[in-house]
Structure 1
Amino acid sequence: MIQAHAVRLFTERGYDTTTVNDVAVAAGVSAMTVYRHFPTKEDLVLADQHGRLVGERLAATSPAQPLVRRICSALVDATATLTDGDPATRQHLLARLRLMISTPALRARHLDNHYALQEAIVDALGAADPEAAFRVRAAAGACLAAMHTALVRWAEEDGKTSLPDLIAQAQAAAFGDHAVEGGAT
Protein backbone atom coordinates (compact mmCIF):
# COMPACT_ATOMS: atom_id res chain seq x y z
CA MET A 1 0.00 0.00 0.00
CA ILE A 2 2.82 2.41 0.87
CA GLN A 3 4.61 1.68 -2.40
CA ALA A 4 1.41 2.19 -4.39
CA HIS A 5 0.90 5.64 -2.83
CA ALA A 6 4.55 6.51 -3.44
CA VAL A 7 4.43 5.54 -7.12
CA ARG A 8 1.19 7.47 -7.58
CA LEU A 9 2.62 10.60 -5.97
CA PHE A 10 5.93 10.35 -7.82
CA THR A 11 4.04 10.02 -11.09
CA GLU A 12 1.69 12.92 -10.34
CA ARG A 13 4.12 15.36 -8.68
CA GLY A 14 7.53 14.16 -9.79
CA TYR A 15 10.04 12.02 -7.97
CA ASP A 16 12.33 14.83 -6.84
CA THR A 17 9.56 17.09 -5.53
CA THR A 18 7.73 14.40 -3.55
CA THR A 19 9.05 13.74 -0.05
CA VAL A 20 8.88 10.63 2.08
CA ASN A 21 6.64 12.65 4.43
CA ASP A 22 4.25 13.25 1.51
CA VAL A 23 4.13 9.50 0.94
CA ALA A 24 3.56 8.82 4.64
CA VAL A 25 0.65 11.28 4.79
CA ALA A 26 -0.95 9.79 1.66
CA ALA A 27 -0.58 6.26 3.06
CA GLY A 28 -1.88 7.25 6.48
CA VAL A 29 1.26 6.12 8.30
CA SER A 30 4.22 7.80 9.94
CA ALA A 31 7.44 8.57 8.07
CA MET A 32 9.15 6.10 10.45
CA THR A 33 6.80 3.35 9.23
CA VAL A 34 7.69 4.18 5.64
CA TYR A 35 11.41 3.96 6.45
CA ARG A 36 10.91 0.68 8.33
CA HIS A 37 9.62 -0.94 5.14
CA PHE A 38 11.57 1.12 2.60
CA PRO A 39 14.95 2.24 3.96
CA THR A 40 15.52 4.73 1.11
CA LYS A 41 13.34 6.86 -1.12
CA GLU A 42 14.57 4.85 -4.12
CA ASP A 43 13.28 1.66 -2.46
CA LEU A 44 9.77 3.09 -2.62
CA VAL A 45 9.96 2.54 -6.39
CA LEU A 46 12.45 -0.25 -6.87
CA ALA A 47 11.96 -2.63 -3.92
CA ASP A 48 10.56 -5.98 -4.99
CA GLN A 49 10.89 -9.71 -4.43
CA HIS A 50 11.82 -10.75 -7.97
CA GLY A 51 14.99 -12.53 -6.86
CA ARG A 52 13.01 -15.10 -4.90
CA LEU A 53 10.58 -15.63 -7.77
CA VAL A 54 13.38 -16.04 -10.34
CA GLY A 55 15.14 -18.43 -7.96
CA GLU A 56 12.00 -20.58 -7.73
CA ARG A 57 11.71 -20.66 -11.52
CA LEU A 58 15.39 -21.60 -11.87
CA ALA A 59 14.90 -24.49 -9.45
CA ALA A 60 12.16 -25.78 -11.76
CA THR A 61 14.47 -25.85 -14.81
CA SER A 62 16.40 -28.92 -15.86
CA PRO A 63 20.12 -28.87 -15.05
CA ALA A 64 20.61 -30.65 -18.38
CA GLN A 65 19.60 -27.47 -20.24
CA PRO A 66 22.27 -24.95 -21.24
CA LEU A 67 22.88 -22.31 -18.57
CA VAL A 68 21.66 -19.34 -20.64
CA ARG A 69 18.47 -21.18 -21.55
CA ARG A 70 17.77 -21.95 -17.88
CA ILE A 71 18.25 -18.32 -16.88
CA CYS A 72 16.28 -16.92 -19.84
CA SER A 73 13.38 -19.30 -19.19
CA ALA A 74 13.32 -18.41 -15.50
CA LEU A 75 13.26 -14.68 -16.28
CA VAL A 76 10.45 -15.08 -18.81
CA ASP A 77 8.42 -17.35 -16.49
CA ALA A 78 8.86 -15.06 -13.48
CA THR A 79 7.81 -12.06 -15.54
CA ALA A 80 4.74 -13.90 -16.79
CA THR A 81 3.77 -14.57 -13.18
CA LEU A 82 4.07 -10.87 -12.39
CA THR A 83 2.28 -9.50 -15.45
CA ASP A 84 -0.29 -12.09 -16.54
CA GLY A 85 -2.58 -11.70 -13.55
CA ASP A 86 -4.12 -8.63 -12.01
CA PRO A 87 -4.22 -5.63 -14.40
CA ALA A 88 -3.58 -3.29 -11.44
CA THR A 89 -0.33 -5.12 -10.66
CA ARG A 90 0.71 -4.82 -14.29
CA GLN A 91 -0.04 -1.08 -14.31
CA HIS A 92 1.89 -0.63 -11.05
CA LEU A 93 4.92 -2.36 -12.57
CA LEU A 94 4.62 -0.20 -15.69
CA ALA A 95 4.47 3.00 -13.59
CA ARG A 96 7.53 1.88 -11.61
CA LEU A 97 9.43 1.20 -14.84
CA ARG A 98 8.55 4.60 -16.26
CA LEU A 99 9.81 6.26 -13.09
CA MET A 100 13.02 4.22 -13.20
CA ILE A 101 13.65 5.17 -16.83
CA SER A 102 12.93 8.88 -16.36
CA THR A 103 14.65 9.50 -13.01
CA PRO A 104 18.48 9.52 -12.91
CA ALA A 105 18.67 8.53 -9.22
CA LEU A 106 16.44 5.54 -9.87
CA ARG A 107 18.41 4.47 -12.94
CA ALA A 108 21.55 4.44 -10.82
CA ARG A 109 19.83 2.45 -8.08
CA HIS A 110 18.50 0.03 -10.68
CA LEU A 111 22.09 -1.18 -11.08
CA ASP A 112 22.04 -2.28 -7.43
CA ASN A 113 18.86 -4.27 -8.08
CA HIS A 114 20.46 -5.74 -11.19
CA TYR A 115 23.42 -6.90 -9.12
CA ALA A 116 21.16 -8.34 -6.40
CA LEU A 117 19.15 -10.31 -8.97
CA GLN A 118 22.37 -11.55 -10.57
CA GLU A 119 23.53 -12.79 -7.15
CA ALA A 120 20.12 -14.42 -6.52
CA ILE A 121 20.59 -16.34 -9.77
CA VAL A 122 24.09 -17.45 -8.70
CA ASP A 123 22.68 -18.60 -5.35
CA ALA A 124 19.71 -20.38 -6.92
CA LEU A 125 21.98 -22.32 -9.24
CA GLY A 126 24.26 -23.29 -6.36
CA ALA A 127 27.40 -22.01 -8.07
CA ALA A 128 29.73 -22.44 -5.09
CA ASP A 129 33.19 -22.63 -6.63
CA PRO A 130 34.68 -19.41 -8.08
CA GLU A 131 34.80 -20.61 -11.70
CA ALA A 132 31.19 -21.81 -11.72
CA ALA A 133 30.06 -18.60 -10.02
CA PHE A 134 31.94 -16.55 -12.63
CA ARG A 135 30.22 -18.41 -15.49
CA VAL A 136 26.79 -17.99 -13.91
CA ARG A 137 27.40 -14.27 -13.21
CA ALA A 138 28.48 -13.71 -16.81
CA ALA A 139 25.46 -15.55 -18.22
CA ALA A 140 23.06 -13.90 -15.77
CA GLY A 141 24.46 -10.44 -16.50
CA ALA A 142 23.99 -10.93 -20.22
CA CYS A 143 20.44 -12.27 -19.76
CA LEU A 144 19.55 -9.37 -17.46
CA ALA A 145 20.92 -6.84 -19.97
CA ALA A 146 18.69 -8.29 -22.68
CA MET A 147 15.74 -8.26 -20.26
CA HIS A 148 16.41 -4.60 -19.43
CA THR A 149 16.17 -3.76 -23.15
CA ALA A 150 12.77 -5.48 -23.25
CA LEU A 151 11.60 -3.63 -20.12
CA VAL A 152 12.45 -0.26 -21.66
CA ARG A 153 10.63 -1.14 -24.87
CA TRP A 154 7.60 -2.35 -22.91
CA ALA A 155 7.45 0.98 -21.07
CA GLU A 156 7.89 2.93 -24.33
CA GLU A 157 5.00 0.96 -25.83
CA ASP A 158 2.84 1.74 -22.79
CA GLY A 159 2.63 -1.92 -21.82
CA LYS A 160 0.59 -2.80 -24.89
CA THR A 161 2.62 -5.87 -25.77
CA SER A 162 3.28 -8.95 -23.70
CA LEU A 163 6.30 -8.31 -21.47
CA PRO A 164 7.26 -12.01 -21.29
CA ASP A 165 7.15 -12.16 -25.10
CA LEU A 166 9.34 -9.05 -25.38
CA ILE A 167 11.84 -10.56 -22.95
CA ALA A 168 11.90 -13.80 -24.95
CA GLN A 169 12.45 -11.78 -28.15
CA ALA A 170 15.31 -9.84 -26.56
CA GLN A 171 16.88 -13.07 -25.26
CA ALA A 172 16.56 -14.65 -28.72
CA ALA A 173 18.12 -11.56 -30.34
CA ALA A 174 21.06 -11.75 -27.93
CA PHE A 175 21.59 -15.51 -27.78
CA GLY A 176 19.73 -17.03 -30.72
CA ASP A 177 16.39 -18.76 -30.88
CA HIS A 178 17.72 -21.79 -28.97
CA ALA A 179 18.12 -19.65 -25.81
CA VAL A 180 14.39 -19.56 -25.08
CA GLU A 181 11.62 -22.11 -24.73
CA GLY A 182 10.06 -23.04 -28.04
CA GLY A 183 13.09 -21.81 -29.97
CA ALA A 184 15.12 -23.82 -32.43
CA THR A 185 17.54 -26.35 -31.01
Structure 2
Amino acid sequence: MSTMAATPHTPLEEQLSRLPLRERKKLRTRVTIRRTTYRLITEQGYEATTVEQIAEASEVSPSTVFRYFPTKEDIVLADAYDPVIATSLRARPAGESPLESLRAVLAEALAKSLAHESAELVERTRLLVEVPAVRARMSETMSVTSRLLADVLAERTGRDPDDLDLRILIATVLGALCEVTLHWGEHGCRDDLVALVHRALDRLAGGLRL
Protein backbone atom coordinates (compact mmCIF):
# COMPACT_ATOMS: atom_id res chain seq x y z
CA MET A 1 0.00 0.00 0.00
CA SER A 2 1.53 3.31 -1.10
CA THR A 3 1.65 6.39 1.08
CA MET A 4 1.78 10.03 0.11
CA ALA A 5 3.78 12.66 1.96
CA ALA A 6 1.70 15.36 3.56
CA THR A 7 1.77 18.58 1.58
CA PRO A 8 1.36 22.05 3.04
CA HIS A 9 -1.99 23.73 2.46
CA THR A 10 -2.08 26.96 4.45
CA PRO A 11 0.14 29.96 3.64
CA LEU A 12 1.91 29.48 6.97
CA GLU A 13 2.65 25.82 6.26
CA GLU A 14 3.82 26.68 2.75
CA GLN A 15 6.32 29.20 4.12
CA LEU A 16 7.48 27.02 7.03
CA SER A 17 8.20 24.11 4.70
CA ARG A 18 10.76 26.22 2.81
CA LEU A 19 12.49 27.94 5.72
CA PRO A 20 15.55 26.98 7.79
CA LEU A 21 15.02 26.41 11.51
CA ARG A 22 15.97 29.95 12.60
CA GLU A 23 13.55 31.54 10.17
CA ARG A 24 10.79 29.09 11.11
CA LYS A 25 11.14 30.18 14.73
CA LYS A 26 10.88 33.84 13.72
CA LEU A 27 7.79 33.21 11.66
CA ARG A 28 6.15 31.22 14.45
CA THR A 29 6.83 34.11 16.83
CA ARG A 30 5.18 36.54 14.41
CA VAL A 31 2.16 34.27 14.10
CA THR A 32 1.89 33.84 17.88
CA ILE A 33 1.94 37.60 18.40
CA ARG A 34 -0.66 38.15 15.69
CA ARG A 35 -3.04 35.46 16.94
CA THR A 36 -2.67 36.66 20.54
CA THR A 37 -3.48 40.18 19.41
CA TYR A 38 -6.68 39.08 17.70
CA ARG A 39 -7.72 37.14 20.78
CA LEU A 40 -7.18 40.10 23.08
CA ILE A 41 -8.95 42.50 20.73
CA THR A 42 -11.92 40.14 20.52
CA GLU A 43 -12.06 39.93 24.32
CA GLN A 44 -11.56 43.59 25.24
CA GLY A 45 -11.62 45.76 22.13
CA TYR A 46 -8.97 47.39 19.95
CA GLU A 47 -8.29 50.55 21.95
CA ALA A 48 -8.09 48.71 25.27
CA THR A 49 -5.51 46.25 23.96
CA THR A 50 -1.95 47.44 24.55
CA VAL A 51 1.36 46.24 23.20
CA GLU A 52 2.40 45.43 26.76
CA GLN A 53 -0.61 43.12 27.14
CA ILE A 54 0.12 41.52 23.79
CA ALA A 55 3.73 40.91 24.78
CA GLU A 56 2.82 39.37 28.13
CA ALA A 57 0.18 37.08 26.64
CA SER A 58 2.58 36.07 23.84
CA GLU A 59 5.37 35.40 26.39
CA VAL A 60 7.77 37.82 24.72
CA SER A 61 9.04 41.28 25.61
CA PRO A 62 7.46 44.50 24.27
CA SER A 63 10.71 45.16 22.41
CA THR A 64 10.29 41.82 20.62
CA VAL A 65 6.78 42.79 19.55
CA PHE A 66 8.09 46.09 18.17
CA ARG A 67 10.96 44.30 16.43
CA TYR A 68 8.45 42.28 14.43
CA PHE A 69 5.70 44.91 14.16
CA PRO A 70 6.47 48.67 14.28
CA THR A 71 2.89 49.54 15.26
CA LYS A 72 -0.15 47.82 16.74
CA GLU A 73 -1.91 48.38 13.41
CA ASP A 74 0.82 46.36 11.68
CA ILE A 75 0.02 43.37 13.91
CA VAL A 76 -3.61 43.51 12.80
CA LEU A 77 -2.77 43.86 9.12
CA ALA A 78 0.04 41.31 8.89
CA ASP A 79 -0.66 38.01 7.19
CA ALA A 80 1.31 35.27 5.48
CA TYR A 81 0.16 35.92 1.95
CA ASP A 82 2.54 38.34 0.22
CA PRO A 83 5.38 35.78 -0.26
CA VAL A 84 2.85 33.14 -1.33
CA ILE A 85 1.27 35.54 -3.83
CA ALA A 86 4.68 36.40 -5.27
CA THR A 87 5.54 32.72 -5.71
CA SER A 88 2.18 31.97 -7.32
CA LEU A 89 2.49 34.98 -9.62
CA ARG A 90 5.86 33.80 -10.90
CA ALA A 91 4.31 30.42 -11.72
CA ARG A 92 1.45 31.77 -13.86
CA PRO A 93 1.45 30.92 -17.62
CA ALA A 94 3.90 33.04 -19.57
CA GLY A 95 1.36 34.31 -22.09
CA GLU A 96 -1.25 35.34 -19.53
CA SER A 97 -2.04 39.04 -19.20
CA PRO A 98 -0.85 40.77 -16.02
CA LEU A 99 -4.43 41.53 -15.00
CA GLU A 100 -5.51 37.90 -15.33
CA SER A 101 -2.41 36.72 -13.49
CA LEU A 102 -3.16 39.11 -10.62
CA ARG A 103 -6.79 38.00 -10.62
CA ALA A 104 -5.79 34.35 -10.34
CA VAL A 105 -3.29 34.71 -7.50
CA LEU A 106 -5.33 37.19 -5.45
CA ALA A 107 -8.49 35.08 -5.73
CA GLU A 108 -6.50 31.99 -4.74
CA ALA A 109 -5.01 33.76 -1.70
CA LEU A 110 -8.43 34.97 -0.57
CA ALA A 111 -9.93 31.50 -1.01
CA LYS A 112 -7.15 30.02 1.16
CA SER A 113 -7.64 32.70 3.78
CA LEU A 114 -11.39 32.03 3.90
CA ALA A 115 -10.76 28.29 4.14
CA HIS A 116 -8.05 28.34 6.81
CA GLU A 117 -8.20 31.70 8.62
CA SER A 118 -11.76 32.91 8.16
CA ALA A 119 -12.15 34.17 11.75
CA GLU A 120 -9.00 36.29 11.47
CA LEU A 121 -10.02 37.61 8.06
CA VAL A 122 -13.45 38.64 9.35
CA GLU A 123 -11.93 40.29 12.44
CA ARG A 124 -9.32 42.12 10.36
CA THR A 125 -12.01 43.36 8.02
CA ARG A 126 -14.17 44.51 10.92
CA LEU A 127 -11.26 46.49 12.30
CA LEU A 128 -10.59 48.01 8.88
CA VAL A 129 -14.16 49.23 8.79
CA GLU A 130 -14.34 50.43 12.40
CA VAL A 131 -10.84 51.71 13.28
CA PRO A 132 -9.54 54.67 11.23
CA ALA A 133 -5.94 54.05 12.34
CA VAL A 134 -6.01 50.51 10.93
CA ARG A 135 -7.50 51.70 7.65
CA ALA A 136 -4.91 54.49 7.35
CA ARG A 137 -2.05 52.10 8.07
CA MET A 138 -3.34 49.70 5.42
CA SER A 139 -3.05 52.47 2.84
CA GLU A 140 0.54 53.09 3.93
CA THR A 141 1.60 49.46 3.91
CA MET A 142 -0.07 48.71 0.58
CA SER A 143 3.00 50.22 -1.08
CA VAL A 144 5.05 47.21 0.11
CA THR A 145 2.69 44.78 -1.61
CA SER A 146 2.60 47.01 -4.68
CA ARG A 147 6.38 46.98 -4.97
CA LEU A 148 6.53 43.21 -4.56
CA LEU A 149 3.97 42.69 -7.32
CA ALA A 150 5.71 45.24 -9.56
CA ASP A 151 9.00 43.38 -9.24
CA VAL A 152 7.42 40.06 -10.18
CA LEU A 153 5.38 41.47 -13.08
CA ALA A 154 8.46 43.31 -14.33
CA GLU A 155 10.28 39.97 -14.49
CA ARG A 156 7.39 38.44 -16.42
CA THR A 157 6.84 41.29 -18.88
CA GLY A 158 10.34 42.68 -19.36
CA ARG A 159 9.20 46.10 -18.14
CA ASP A 160 10.94 48.25 -15.59
CA PRO A 161 9.40 47.84 -12.10
CA ASP A 162 8.90 51.63 -12.09
CA ASP A 163 7.02 51.57 -15.42
CA LEU A 164 4.06 53.93 -15.03
CA ASP A 165 1.54 51.67 -16.76
CA LEU A 166 2.61 48.78 -14.54
CA ARG A 167 2.27 50.92 -11.42
CA ILE A 168 -1.17 52.12 -12.49
CA LEU A 169 -2.36 48.56 -13.13
CA ILE A 170 -1.18 47.30 -9.74
CA ALA A 171 -2.50 50.34 -7.87
CA THR A 172 -5.88 49.96 -9.57
CA VAL A 173 -6.14 46.25 -8.76
CA LEU A 174 -5.08 46.70 -5.14
CA GLY A 175 -7.38 49.69 -4.76
CA ALA A 176 -10.27 47.62 -6.08
CA LEU A 177 -9.37 44.80 -3.69
CA CYS A 178 -9.36 47.26 -0.79
CA GLU A 179 -12.77 48.67 -1.69
CA VAL A 180 -14.23 45.20 -2.17
CA THR A 181 -12.94 44.18 1.26
CA LEU A 182 -14.41 47.27 2.92
CA HIS A 183 -17.74 46.71 1.14
CA TRP A 184 -17.72 43.09 2.31
CA GLY A 185 -17.06 44.16 5.89
CA GLU A 186 -19.66 46.93 5.85
CA HIS A 187 -22.26 44.35 4.84
CA GLY A 188 -21.47 41.89 7.60
CA CYS A 189 -18.99 39.70 5.67
CA ARG A 190 -21.93 37.69 4.38
CA ASP A 191 -21.35 37.83 0.63
CA ASP A 192 -19.00 35.65 -1.40
CA LEU A 193 -15.77 37.65 -1.14
CA VAL A 194 -14.00 35.86 -3.98
CA ALA A 195 -17.00 36.43 -6.26
CA LEU A 196 -16.95 40.13 -5.36
CA VAL A 197 -13.27 40.32 -6.31
CA HIS A 198 -13.97 38.67 -9.67
CA ARG A 199 -16.85 41.09 -10.24
CA ALA A 200 -14.59 44.08 -9.53
CA LEU A 201 -11.82 42.84 -11.81
CA ASP A 202 -14.33 42.05 -14.56
CA ARG A 203 -15.37 45.70 -14.41
CA LEU A 204 -11.75 46.82 -14.64
CA ALA A 205 -11.11 44.49 -17.58
CA GLY A 206 -14.19 45.86 -19.34
CA GLY A 207 -13.16 49.48 -18.96
CA LEU A 208 -15.25 50.28 -15.85
CA ARG A 209 -18.11 52.15 -17.49
CA LEU A 210 -20.94 53.02 -15.10
TM-score range, shorter chain: 0.7 to 0.9
TM value normalised by structure 1: 0.82
Q: State whether structure 2 residue 110 is matched by structure 1 residue 79.
A: yes
Q: Which residue of 2 aligns with 1:34?
A: 65
CA separation in 1, counterparts of 2:75 and 2:197?
Answer: 25
Residue 109 of structure 1: CA displacement?
A: 0.8
CA distance in 2, matches of 1:41, 1:18: 9
Q: Which range moved further: 8-17 or 40-49? A: 8-17
SS in 2 for 1:126: helix
The separation in 1 between residues aligned to 2:36 and 2:56, in whole angstroms, is 9
Structure 2 unpaired stretches of 5+: 1-31
Instruction: Give, in angstroms, the shift of residue 138 of structure 1.
Output: 0.9
CA contact (8 A) 2:184 2:190 kept: yes
TM-score between both structures, scaled by the size of structure 2: 0.73
> What's the Cα RMSD here?
2.3
Matched, 1:140 2:158: no
Structure whose alpha-carbon radius of gyration is higher: 2
Q: Check conservation: 1:57, 1:77, Cα contact below 8 A.
A: no
Q: How does 1:6-155 map to 2 (within 5 A)?
A: 6-84=37-115, 86=116, 89-126=117-154, 129-130=159-160, 133-155=163-185
- How many residues align? The count is 174
The percent identity for this pair of structures is 30
**CA distance, structure 2, for counterparts of residue 164 and residue 131 of structure 1:** 28
Greater Cα shift, 58-67 or 135-144 = 58-67
Q: Which has the higher contact order (CA 8 A, sep 6+)?
A: 1
The one-letter code of the counterpart of 2:138 is: H
Q: CA deviation at 1:122?
A: 0.6
Q: Distance in 1 between matches of 2:89 and 2:75?
A: 27
Letter in 2 for 1:90: S
Is the 1:98–1:155 contact (alpha carbons within 8 Å) kept by the matching residues of 2?
yes
